[in-house]
Chains A and B, each alone.
Chain A
């Protein structure tokens, strides 16, 4: 199982090399992996349908109780089959769609990584690994939406999707942590047993809200729905795969997966059903007013995701059943329609339906597939979509809250969905032919296979009594049982057994859909003024918050990052003094002042201190930079001597080396610095004096109190005792550095390396500004010139020695 999940990542790493060998055939080679995985998961159908979920556990980070555990039950199996099945077709389709693109190997890398991450999401049984895979899908989705990275629109859409889903993911993580703490386990399967305890807890509501925000952002629920249409900047195979069949359903998956733990309460019912219902209506309403093929499909996807959420919120047996059937139906018809839209765009150079028509003759295969898919989307009998729609109505009529309202909303949604289905299938392929930018012709086989397979599956699964029943028994039942956490027998019927309300509603929907499709153009003109609302819609909120953040960032950079070392020092010292001072006063540390006792001070110590003070004064008073450097060196070496006297040889050695190198460095830059005098005004000097005095007083008091109080440290004896036994070293300081706290050191040397590269970069950058005649660097003009240079700077300053 571990291999099954991770193989996508491995193959993704190899894809660029494979592309060098395989060239145009790469897609067909790479598609073997998802196909093999699909076969692998098919093997699970039989045991899982018999109610035997399979779980696998691999240790990952045992010290943090994080495991890589995978759980195959009906729900995760259903998703895995969709991911690998559609994935196979998408890899093929993508190889055709992007055949002439120079970056096609990057597409293969990202799409395989995405597939593996998505499998990880739906199979993970551990909240932490689920979260990691969840974020990986966000990251790979970012790469895929931004595939055409030269286009500003793509980059914007990619960032928008990443920020929205990424922010939601972080909120969700907080929910996960609280959930795991309350439930006492990171394993989802363990949490099922804790459902009552969790729901009775005061933290239940926060947990629910946090996790739902994660799910809603990922599944493009209102008010986060706007990123999905934006994501249409991605190439068509990406839209077909991520933004209809798989990734956007991750939120639906999460809600379904956690249903047994969090579901069934009033809060759940209102939140999930409410947002789902609003989303489905808004999505459907916007969809039919679009003219861009991909945007129609995007908004109708938003609507479909809303339906799924709404059903999961209702949570009754029939609602969950309906959700699972509709999930499969939607993945099939929407996946194929997206691929068809891509093919039309690819072969005609046009994707606005107003400028498309009569393509059936030129593109018979895709046209036929479009009709089949649209039929399933509209819920016409004999298609699986019809079965799904019947179940949806059954579920809404049966709802615990406002059954009438929800049913009406569902009818409206379905009617508008039919209109959208007609717009993407009938309009481009039938009617009078319209001349397109490119001469229209049928797409290559790699791009036909996907749409045809997915579209005809809707008919195959829904058109025979036998297949409908088997589908219900083997796929839908186990999935629904997993959500309800109790065995459930689903009996699907190809056609309704009796004339019921549900059948009537289906008929009304179909007729309404056809009617509105016919009058859609005049109707669109009538409702157009209403669209002004979108100017204050959620997408604007996103823009405003992003702009606001930039304003704040610029403001605080201007205030804090002045570019002058002295201001940085002032800010740092004042912050330290402020924070430490407040703590010292408020925590009553100052009361310990009386504990300070003066031990005997030796003459040589006094001499050292006097030398330090003298050197400091010299640094401050001297008019020569070289003297200042030497004075600072004296201060440093005296401090090193103090370290020696007080038994810290390692510190002393470090201090000696650092001092030596500092002097060397200062000497190197000495020639290039501007005149030494006339920097500060009298006021600035007074200000600096006050600031440095407060800083000095704070540190002195702190050290005096700290040493006066009895030290109650467990670390000191621990390190002293275990240095030799555990780490085999006598020098405790060094053992701490390279062993006990080696991880810190690792971080420090990495930072050191980065800082050196930064210095290198800065200096090289300034080298570019060398004036050509003398080879002397031009002074870099700071923002506030008048303050920096009180006198004109000579090119090279004389240094007295």
Chain B
């Protein structure tokens, strides 16, 4: 498939920007519009665009991990964040918050980590489907 030079040049700069933007959306989600689901979709879209101008091998190299692994890791992160409260004797999924404000991340608590899990799962799911479709073609 032949795509325009403009797209292939632009995507090289857009990929990191879109990824940073997706993380920005993920982190602001708790107070402003955004969140893990939207952030994950943006990140997946970034890689999908990248895959339009580059071979799948290159995209996989850029991603570094298998999308399948991402799904598992994401679910694990989500479940672990929800289980943390069990160790404090609180019911499953009780939100726990760290009292200090961290740089960049802001207030951090288990719901934020849970949202990160959602982000990772969404990236994994979308890319798994896209990669499979590309491979088939």
| A positions within 8 Å CB-CB of B | 63, 649-650, 653-654, 657-658, 660-661, 664-665, 668-669, 671-672, 726-731, 733-735, 737-739, 742-743, 745-746, 749-750, 752-753, 755-757, 759-760, 763-764, 766-767, 777
Contact = CB atoms under 8 A, between A and B. Distances in A.
Interface in B33-89: 33-38, 41-42, 44-45, 48-49, 52, 67-68, 71-72, 74-75, 78-79, 82
Given A650-B38, A731-B35, 12 more contacts: A661-B126, A665-B130, A668-B137, A734-B29, A735-B111, A745-B78, A745-B118, A749-B118, A752-B122, A753-B74, A753-B125, A756-B129
A766 B136 contact: yes
Contacts of A657: 38, 41-42, 45
B16 interface: no
Nearest to A767: B136
B129 A760 contact: yes
B118 A669 contact: no
A715 B109 CA distance: 24
A729 B126 contact: no
Contacts of A764: 132
Contacts of A756: 67, 71, 124-126, 128-129
Contact of A749 (B30, B42, B121): B121
Nearest to A62: B91
A752 B44 CA distance: 14
A759 B49 CA distance: 20
A675 B42 CA distance: 32
Contacts of B97: 728
A647 B128 CA distance: 33
Nearest to A735: B30
7 cross-chain pairs, A with B, having the tightest CB-CB distances, nearest first: A657-B41, A649-B33, A730-B31, A756-B125, A729-B30, A763-B132, A753-B71
Contacts of A750: 75
Given A729-B111, A749-B74, A750-B75, A759 B128 contact: yes
B31 A731 contact: yes
16 contacts: A63-B91, A649-B33, A653-B25, A653-B33, A653-B34, A668-B130, A730-B32, A737-B37, A738-B29, A739-B95, A742-B93, A743-B93, A745-B118, A753-B125, A760-B132, A767-B135
Among B29, B42, B79, residue most surrounded by chain A Cβ atoms (within 10 Å) = B29
A764 B129 CA distance: 11
B95 A728 contact: yes
B12 interface: no
Nearest to A756: B125
Among A729, A742, A749, A750, residue most surrounded by chain B Cβ atoms (within 10 Å) = A749
A74 B13 CA distance: 77
A720 to B, nearest CB: 14
Among B25, B49, B97, B109, residue most surrounded by chain A Cβ atoms (within 10 Å) = B109
A654 B125 contact: no
Contacts of A746: 78-79, 82, 93
Contacts of A668: 130, 133-134, 137
A669 B74 CA distance: 27
Given A668-B134, A731-B29, A756-B129, A654 B41 contact: yes
B82 A742 contact: yes
B133 A665 contact: yes
A669 B93 CA distance: 40
A650 B33 contact: yes
Contacts of B68: 757, 760
B128 to A, nearest CB: 5
B90 to A, nearest CB: 11
A734 B34 contact: yes
A738 B114 contact: yes
A665 B48 CA distance: 9
Contacts of A777: 136
Nearest to A754: B71
A669 B49 CA distance: 15
- The majority secondary structure among interface residues of chain B is helix
Contacts of A664: 45, 48-49, 52, 130
B79 A757 contact: no
Contacts of B72: 753
A753 B78 contact: no
B75 A737 contact: no
Contacts of A660: 41, 45
A746 B117 CA distance: 9
B107 A669 contact: no
Given A738-B111, A742-B82, A749 B117 contact: yes
A650 B128 CA distance: 25
A766 B132 CA distance: 11
Nearest to A729: B30
A745 B111 CA distance: 11
B125 A752 contact: yes
A755 B124 CA distance: 12
B115 A738 contact: yes
Nearest to A667: B52
B96 to A, nearest CB: 11
A653 B38 contact: yes
A58 to B, nearest CB: 13
A756 B75 CA distance: 13
Contacts of A669: 133
Nearest to A63: B91
Nearest to B93: A742
Contacts of B82: 742, 746
Contacts of B117: 749
B123 to A, nearest CB: 11
Nearest to A766: B136
Contacts of B133: 665, 668-669, 763
Nearest to A728: B97
A734 B35 contact: yes
Contact of A742 (B33, B45, B111): B111
Contacts of B33: 649-650, 653, 731, 733
A668 B95 CA distance: 41
Interface in B98-125: 107, 109, 111-112, 114-115, 117-118, 121-122, 124-125
Contact of A731 (B30, B126, B136): B30
Contacts of B32: 730-731
Interface string B1-45: 000000000000000000000000100011111111110011011
A750 B82 CA distance: 14
Nearest to B72: A753
A763 B136 contact: yes
Nearest to B134: A668
Contacts of B91: 63
Contacts of B118: 737-738, 745, 749
A749 B135 CA distance: 24
A89 B72 CA distance: 43
A660 B36 CA distance: 17
Contacts of B107: 728
B111 A739 contact: yes
Contacts of B125: 752-753, 755-756
A85 B115 CA distance: 51
A672 B93 CA distance: 44
B129 A728 contact: no
B37 A654 contact: yes
A752 B74 CA distance: 11
A582 B109 CA distance: 46
B111 A661 contact: no
Contacts of B52: 664
A759 B126 CA distance: 11
A668 B134 CA distance: 7
A722 to B, nearest CB: 12
A759 B131 CA distance: 11
A743 B35 CA distance: 16
A496 to B, nearest CB: 60
A757 B68 CA distance: 8
A41 B137 CA distance: 67
B124 A731 contact: no
B38 A654 contact: yes
Contacts of B114: 738, 742, 745
